[in-house]
Amino acid sequence: MKILHHPDKADIQLSSVLYALSDPVRLFILAELRRSGERTCGDIDVPVVKSTLSHHARTLREAGVVSVRVHGTQRFLSIRTEDLESRFPGLLTSVMNAYEHSGEPMIINAE
């Protein structure tokens, strides 16, 4: 099984986090995780193909925004809230509150 790289808390870079948070699909994924906690990739209803969802999950993981836990064939995603709050106090809360109150669709249409 391939070992998934998660940056150490001290190695999480602001520019990487901001890049990961700049995509509407990734913001939607984070909003779902924030609302319901840890979820498998397959449980997040995003109208993109599996490979695209994997790409977004990898981008979030490599930026240090989410943690991915492998259990059998499933990958469980959870937000690294404590690590992000420690590195960049208030950033995640501010971005997610702005996203949720922005009027952007919470469900992304594939069309």
Using one digit for the tens of pLDDT, what is the confidence trace for 41-100? 888 888 788 888 899 999 999 999 999 998 888 889 999 999 999 999 999 999 999 998
106 CB contacts (<8 Å, ≥6 apart)? 28, 31, 100
- Token look-up 């499933």 returns 74
Residue 109, pLDDT > 70, answer no
pTM, full prediction:
0.88
Instruction: Give pLDDT, residue 111.
Output: 39
Sheet containing 74-79: order of strands = 39-40, 74-79, 66-71
Q: Domain count of the chain?
A: 1
Going by pLDDT thresholds of 50, 70 and 90, the confidence category of residue 3 is confident
> What are the angstrom distances between the C-alpha of 67 and each of 61, 98, 102, 104?
6, 23, 26, 25
Tokens of 78: 């959870």
What CATH number does residue 58 fall under?
1.10.10.10
CB 28 within 8 A of CB 108: yes
Residue 62 falls inside a structural domain: yes
Cβ atoms 37, 76 nearer than 8 A = no
- Residue ranges making up the domain that contains 64: 11-99
Q: Is residue 18 part of a domain?
A: yes
Residue 49 located in a structural domain = yes
